[in-house]
Amino acid sequence: MTRLRFFSIAFVLLAFGMWLSGCNHDDPASGITDQQALVASTSPQDGATDVPTSSPIVMAFNTSMDTMSVMEYFHCAGGDEMWEWMDSLQDHHTGMGGHMTDMNHMMAWMRDFELPGRFDWNNEMTECVFHPDTGLFPHTDYMIYLEDNIRSHDGHMMDRTGLRYDGLMIHFRTGP
């Protein structure tokens, strides 16, 4: 009876191990991979000028994303309030004693003036298009800020390599 019990337990563990090894979510044909989230590209690109006011904001990712996390931690803002927020963020990270030192408070402030809009995703959940409700204003500086709390579909956090200010920041300016 002891040998039978041992072999039964060994068989169950072996079967579980084989099942677990097959659950890695890597499926190149579907675009689903088990890897850390990374923003592969954005449009407009950082530093772009003369961006048409009718332009959507497009973000492409290296893997399928948890769409709710992207939509929650995506921010787009422009104009004078955006520059005030940027100045406060600089003070926050340099320790110069600026009037905004709590990152949570700074993000609440950002949410007060960010652009509302609609998100559209491709079928693979690897590309997101943000359409601002009001469009973009001419001759205005804008910032896209994507907090580093975004996750891939399987829960991997955003790759923080090279990020400043606890997220990805893209600046662009609209044209006429």
Assigned token pair, 107: 């993000």
Q: What is the DSSP letter of 153?
A: T
Residues 6+ apart with CB under 8 A from 84: none
pLDDT of residue 120: 98
**174: which 2 tokens?**
């609209």
- Predicted pLDDT of residue 169: 87
Q: Please list the pLDDT of the chain residue by residue as tens digits (176 residues).
A: 555 454 444 444 433 333 333 444 445 454 445 678 899 999 999 999 999 999 999 999 999 999 999 999 998 888 777 667 666 666 555 444 444 456 665 666 666 668 899 999 999 999 999 999 988 999 999 988 888 889 999 999 888 777 766 788 899 999 98
DSSP string covering 40-84: EEEESPTTEEEE-TT--EEEEESS-B-HHHHHHHEEEEESHHHHH
Of 58, 74, 72, 76, the C-alpha closest to 143 is 76
Residue boundaries of the structural domains of the chain: 26-174
Q: Which residues pair with 169 in a beta bridge?
A: 145
Q: What is the pLDDT of residue 85?
A: 66
Q: Which residues neighbour 116 within 8 Å (Cβ) at sequence distance 6 or greater?
A: 132, 133, 134
Q: Which CATH number fits domain 26-174: 3.30.200.20, 1.10.20.10, 3.40.1280.10, 2.60.40.3710?
A: 2.60.40.3710
pLDDT on residue 125: 97
Predicted local confidence at residue 109, as pLDDT = 66
**Beta strands at 48-51 and 167-174: parallel, antiparallel or unpaired:** parallel
Task: Please give the pLDDT value at position 1.
Answer: 52
Contact 129, 157 (CB under 8 A): no
